[in-house]
Amino acid sequence: MMDSSNTNLEAALLKKQNWALFTFMVLAWGLNWTIMKIGLRFVDPLNLVMQRLALASMVLSPALIWKRRLLPKDGGTWFKMISLALINAAGMASTNIGLLHEASGLSSILTYTQPIFVFCLAIPFLGEKINLTKVLGVILGFLGVTILYASKLSSPIKSSDSIFLLILGAFLWAVSVVYYKKLLSHVDPAIINMVQFPLGSIFLLIATLMLIGVSFSLTPIYIFSLFYMSTFGSAIASTIWLLLIKEEETMIVSTSSLIVPAIALIFGWIFLGETLEFYSLLGFLLIMVGIYLVNKPRL
C-alpha cells in the first residue's frame, strides 16, 4: 500500500515538473519569434541557423563532456541521430528562409501547423489512440492560432515559395518529433541535442559555403539575438522539448505547443508595440480550451 502511494506521489511530482518545464519552453519559444525576426535583419537565414546551431553546440559542450559515457556505442543509433540532425537542420533552414520573406505572424501560424502533421503521423507510426475530445482540441487549438493572425493572413502573399517553405519546415518538424519518439526515445534528450546541433551546423556550413558564403554581424543587437536563440531557443528549450516528447504522449505535447504563437503575440505587443485586439483575445481563449481538451484524459 505504501509503495503504491509513493508511486502515485512520484508520478504527480513528475507531472508538475513536466508542466513547469513546458511553461518555460513555450515562453522561451514565444519570445524567440521576435528574436529570430530581428536576427534576420543582419544576416541571411542559412548563416543565422548555422551560427545558431554552432553556438548552441558550444553551450552544450560542457554537458557533453559530463555525459560522454552515455553516448551510444552502436552504429545504428548513430546513423539515426545523424538522420535526425539533417532533418532538423533542413526544417530550421526552411522555416527561417520563409520567415525572411513573410510577416512573423503568418510564419508562426504556418509553422504551428506542425501539430496537425504530428496528429496524422502519430496514429500510424506510433499507434497513439485518438478520441473525439482530442480531435476537437486539435481543431479548436489550430482555429485559435488562425484567428490570432487573421488580419495578417488577409494581407497579400508575397511569394508562394516562402509559404511552401514554411509549411515544409512544419512538416519536417513533425517528422523529427515522430522519428525521435519512434526510434531514439531510448537516448537521453540532452545527448540527442549535443550530437544533432554540431552535425546540423556542419551540414548548414557546407550548404552556406556552396550557395552564398559565410557572413557574420558584430552589432550588439545581432550578438544578443544569436545568444538568445542559441542558448534559450535551442540548447535549453529544445532539450526540454525532447524530454517532454519522451515522457508524455506525443500528440498532447505537440498540440499543447500551439500556445507558442499566442505567447509570441503578447511579446510582440510588449516589445514591438503590436495591437492586442478582440480577435487576438478570442484566439488565445480557443487555444487554451483546445489544450485543455487534448490534455483532459490525463489531468
Maximum distance among all Cα pairs of the chain, rounded to whole angstroms: 65
Q: What is the pLDDT of residue 197?
A: 93
Is 2 within the bounds of a domain?
A: no
Is 250 within the bounds of a domain?
A: yes
Cα–Cα dist 138/296, whole Å = 12
Query: Quick one: which of 172, 177, 185, 115 has its CA closest to 143?
Result: 115
Is 267 within the bounds of a domain?
A: yes
Is 6 within the bounds of a domain?
A: no
Query: Quick one: which of 177, 172, 186, 298 has its CA closest to 242?
Result: 177
Cell of 256: 499543447
Is 256 within the bounds of a domain?
A: yes
Q: What is the pLDDT of residue 299?
A: 41
Is 13 within the bounds of a domain?
A: no
Is 201 within the bounds of a domain?
A: yes
Consecutive 10-residue averages of pLDDT for the chain (299 residues): 54 72 92 92 96 94 81 92 96 93 74 80 82 84 75 52 85 93 87 91 96 95 96 92 80 76 81 71 79 63
**What's the total number of domains in the chain?**
1
- Specify the pTM: 0.82
Using alpha carbons, list the distances in angstroms from residue 152 to 156, 215, 259. 9, 31, 18
**Residue 183: domain span:** 22-36+43-298
Is 10 within the bounds of a domain?
A: no
